[in-house]
A and B are shown apart, each in its own frame.
Chain A
Amino acid sequence: MAVFDLPGWTGLAPALILAATALVLFVVDSISPRSTNRAVLAGISVTGALASLAVAVWFIAAGVGQSGLEGLGVIELFDGGAEFAGGSQFVVDQMALYFMIIVAVVTALVSVASYDYMDGHTYQAEYYSLMILAATGMSLMAAANSLVTIFIALELASLPSYALVAILKDNRGSVEASLKYFLIGALSSAIMVYGISLIYGATGSLQLDAIASELAAADADDYAYDGILGLGILMLIGGFAFKTASVPFHFWAPEAYEGAPAPISAFLSSASKAAGFVIAFRVFTTAFPLEVTAGLIGIDWTWAFIILAIVTMTVGNFAAATQDTVKRMLAYSSIGHAGYALIGLAGLTVDGGELVMGAAMMHLLVYGFMNTGAFLFVALAEYWGVGRTFEDYNGLATQAPVACFALGIFMFSLAGIPPLGGFWSKYFLFTGAIGVGSTAMLVVAAALVVNSALSLYYYSRLVKAVWIEDPLVDRDALTQPTGLYAAIVFAAVMTVVLLPAFGPVSETAIEAAAAVI
């Protein structure tokens, strides 16, 4: 069965499968309200996520989005027919599929881990269906090709997330974090939607390709809407910064990640962040070509990302260095990693940048495993009830060596120690940034190195706590929840095996980046 035999709308199959899974979960919930049959619920979620993953991998392997003889070309959807020349609302290309894969993998991992974590909680069906709905939104974000679909997909991802953070209804921290998340989210969405309206005002279009052609047709010497367009772009960046937890739109992240159940923190900090990046990548490479836009608004928009990248990685890492609780440390480290990924946009140039953007995409993939794994270890610790601070984690390795070994892999990979996956993606980011050659990018590269060095401090602090320190109190024997263990071990294995697999991964990522630029 070849892909081109299928109708066009099946191009969105990875997202549609997730949507269908959410509906199945609703059906189960309506048949058996307040069901606590975790096996069924988690099973459906995992099956849906894996099916979505399988389809996405199949598409990418079959050549969707690749040009040339072998490739099947980009699938354009909902272009409104011949009489409406607005362009497609969704596009399924390599980048879209690449990020769909990341979302599906993280969703699957989190679903497996949640099987144990949600043991004894109420609202099981709601939990899974909200999560799958959010994943649907993220998957759609990867393919959205118009400011409208982008906004809708983004809201589809955000709204379930607010509810998910608050799923521990009796937990004050969970509810408070959710409210803050929601308020900051509302503010950010408002800013973004206003930005969209300004861009529509300046260009008369919402579809990304249409915006680009509108800008290309404009007279650069006498352009009246430069302020409006610039402000609109900047406000759009605000919306993306919220989704990727970049400074200054990051304030929700530490609280939400800390208050939420740990699997949800993993989900939000890995998949949601990756989805935020894919729309940023797509909008800025498709709708606002660097040279044309710079001619109109008088400045390269990469400057905004250069500033954001440096500030974000610095704030994230420095704040992480002084945290006492592990989860909050990971939350700030997640902000720091958003800063690293922003280099992918900061390093774009008129005649290139696919290397640095491909590196950012690679980093997001590796990050999807190592960060998810790290948060799942926190989930495991919460499951055991050992406490929240570094000291509470002391000496866990004697009781749970396998999980703690995996934790060591996650931490050292996050810090970028060779030969783990995190090292290679950071290395490509670094060489990509250096390769651009401008002074600003050298500063960015230097910031990357300094922040990575600092990050080793707090990551290794956690490794030291579990492996070297003696426990403060005597603990009872720790159980070994199968689902959590499976997810953690799988994430650890992937973090390691991405090393030999880095050839194809980097090829795919750089190709995907080159295709959109």
Chain B
Amino acid sequence: MEGVFSYAPAIAAFPLVAFVIALAFGKYMPKKGAFAGIFATLGSLVLSVLMLVAVASGEVYHETLYEWAIGETPSGIGGIEFTFGILIDPLSALMLVIVSLIAFLVHVFSLGYMNAEGETGLPRYYAGLGLFTFSMLAFVFADNLLMAFMFFELVGLCSFLLIGFWFRTRSAPSAAKKAFLVTRFGDYFFLIGVVAIAATFGTLQFAGDGSFVAAAEAAMDGTGEAWTPAGIGIESWVTVTGLLVLGGVIGKSAQFPLHTWLPDAMEGPTTVSALIHAATMVAAGVYLVARMFGYYALSPTALAIIAFVGGFTALFAATMGVVKDDIKQVLAYSTISQYGYMMLGLGVGGYVAGVFHLMNHAFFKALLFLGAGSVIVIMHHEQDMWKMGGLKDKAPVTYYTFLAGALALAGIIPFSGFWSKDEILFDAMIVGLEEPVILAAYVMGLLAVFFTGFYTFRMVFLTFHGEPRSETAEDPHPVGWSIKAPLIVLGVLALVAGIANLAPVAKLTGLDITFLQGWLDGEYGAVEGLTYGAYSDLLAYETGVIGSEQLTVLLAAGLSLLLAFSGAGLAWKLYNVPEPVAHKERLGSVRETIEANYYQDEYQVWLAEGLTLPFARAADRFDQTVIDGLVDGVSTGSRSAGSRMRRLQTGIVTNYAALLVAGFIALLVVLGFLGGWFL
């Protein structure tokens, strides 16, 4: 199987070729370049699956392909090398399959969503999708932090291009700009973090003995050396650099407080939203934490911050999702909330749980978005849920697949979302029993389950149940197989993907069925040091149980299920009626706050307009007046001095003689006086 790895670069290269083809020849091709994208992503998918099989057979791949610069570090620890390389281990192989699968399905779905709806500018659309997929795939198999950063940025650029696809509207370009700027704000810290890590350890590799993770570990043991600024202790410095990189993660994965771009990003085509939320842009952030989990594992402080931010975001976003009327908006807040769970899971050391939820979420969130896209097609591009209703019978495929996704999202047993979310909450709970901060994060995550159940089923009931509340809902637009097929594939996955890691069942029955845990722990094959077991050894967390482990498992699962069912049940009671009405008014003043998204946008706009802009103006004024004035003054002074010099040259030779003699005498007086010649 080893030979298969030599095709690894092609995984990313296929979509890149599709990008070029769609851009150059899309206009002349049938379906405007869609097939190029479909075949490219299919190729990537096939190769990714081959990689997965190869890794399962015990092989891993870690190869530097191209070295583009070698430099010195301030620490003087060797020369630092900047390279492009590929790292395929269990984590990246899994992620490659997820990304290429979702990208493939999104391409297929686009045939029905974009081509059939007669959109213009399709070559640009498919080129964007191709570049987006390429960037994400290359990011996933990057073997060093700098390469990861570069493709991370490229992912950001592609999301800008695709969110702003309908650039003639007012809102889409603005949303694209917002997404770009907000994530860029986080990436700024990421870049500083990359530089700091490079300067500290002289390497940016993720894996192997020469990795910065290994270097940091050695430095903390006292067996290695590392440079830190101003003599900061290495523990604190690892925390600081880890948090700097986390800035990029928070921006991309839409965690509080940089989550504000994501709801606006709904301005892009729904297919793009599916790609962004499930497999690319937003997933990139969490994936990065998983990729360099060994580094974070060295710093309990950084982990606690990740966990707390995650837990808080999960609850915070879930409450906002409760009052939204636009079907895509609800999904957007659910995404923020779900990535909060993943961060919580990773933050409490639940590496497997976090990755498991990343995988499940990719499937069910892609499903929900594509389902929403299908609904939007059915409803003739109407997105307000209050104008829908009763679609259950008119679009059964969409309904049942969407329902599967909703059950997974809400965390109802036995759908995939339940298993991963439960595992995260279980991991958080056992750590939280010993650590108060984690306990707080856990409680927030737990509460969010209730809201998740509520808003999910509010969405389902308003959209599909009851009586049709508009003319379009009574007379839906039919959808084709290019829409239905991806939904069915994802619907099945949303139902069964949980089998990958039935941890609670395993703990209760003692069966060895935690396949994903084994996979990530290197049972099949892994790069040394990048396994769950290795990470667990680094973690400083202590765990507690209530009674016995089995009791704790049952308690955690029961608690989250109870909350999920009560949320869903409340929604059923309020909205599963023939003529549902809005209940938001009952919330009173809380409603206004939530509808305004807790004024997050307002204060960020204030930060930009009230604080940054005046400061920038002041700096500009300083530049315009003082700096420019200085420069202009110098040049004006030089010119006037120059013209005075020029006036010395009168053109009259007697003046010259006089000036010459005068100058000579002046020189004589000065030197003669100093030399004492006149005495």
Partner-B contacts on A (CB < 8 A): 179-180, 183-184, 187-188, 191, 226-227, 230-231, 234, 238, 247-249, 251-252, 254-255, 297-299, 303-304, 307-308, 315, 318-323, 454, 457
Contact = CB atoms under 8 A, between A and B. Distances in A.
Given A226-B675, A226-B676, A248 B642 contact: no
A251 B660 CA distance: 8
B667 A304 contact: yes
Contacts of B649: 251, 254-255, 319
Contacts of B678: 227
Given A319-B649, A321-B638, A454-B638, A299 B663 contact: no
Nearest to B643: A322
A248 B653 CA distance: 13
B118 interface: no
B660 A230 contact: no
Interface in B517-553: none
Interface in B465-481: none
A345 to B, nearest CB: 14
B611 to A, nearest CB: 38
Given A180-B656, A252-B656, A321 B639 contact: yes
B670 interface: yes
24 contacts: A180-B656, A184-B656, A187-B660, A188-B660, A226-B677, A227-B672, A230-B671, A230-B677, A231-B668, A234-B667, A234-B671, A238-B664, A248-B663, A297-B675, A299-B671, A304-B671, A308-B667, A315-B645, A318-B645, A319-B645, A320-B642, A322-B645, A454-B638, A457-B638
B613 interface: no
A308 B213 CA distance: 64
Nearest to B649: A254
B489 interface: no
Nearest to A250: B660
A255 B677 contact: no
Chain B interface main SS type: helix
A245 B649 CA distance: 14
Contacts of B662: 248
Contacts of A318: 638, 641-642, 645
A132 B584 CA distance: 104
Contacts of A322: 639, 642-643, 645-646
Given A318-B642, A319-B642, A183 B657 contact: yes
B222 interface: no
Contacts of A188: 660
B65 interface: no
Given A318-B641, A323-B646, A179 B671 contact: no
Given A187-B657, A307-B670, A323-B646, A297 B663 contact: no
B659 interface: yes
B651 interface: yes
Contacts of B660: 184, 187-188, 248-249, 251
B656, B659, B670, B674: which has the most chain A beta carbons within 10 Å? B656
Contact of B668 (A234, A254, A255, A457): A234
A251 B659 contact: yes
Contacts of A180: 653, 656
Contacts of A315: 645, 648
B508 to A, nearest CB: 76
Contacts of A184: 653, 656-657, 660
B664 A299 contact: no
A420 to B, nearest CB: 24
B629 to A, nearest CB: 18
A179 B638 CA distance: 32
B518 to A, nearest CB: 62
B378 to A, nearest CB: 61
B613 to A, nearest CB: 35
B671 A183 contact: no
Contacts of B653: 179-180, 183-184
Given A252-B656, A318-B641, A247 B677 contact: no
Nearest to A191: B664
B669 to A, nearest CB: 11
B646 to A, nearest CB: 5
B663 A247 contact: yes
B674 A299 contact: yes
Nearest to A303: B671
Contacts of A323: 646
B657, B670, B677: which has the most chain A beta carbons within 10 Å? B677
Contact of A231 (B670, B672, B674): B672
A256 B263 CA distance: 77
B38 to A, nearest CB: 51
A254 B651 CA distance: 10
A376 to B, nearest CB: 24
Contacts of B663: 247-249
Interface string B630-666: 0000010011011101101101010011011111100
Contacts of B674: 298-299, 303
A454 B641 CA distance: 12
B656 to A, nearest CB: 4
A308 B678 CA distance: 22
B234 to A, nearest CB: 42
A256 to B, nearest CB: 11
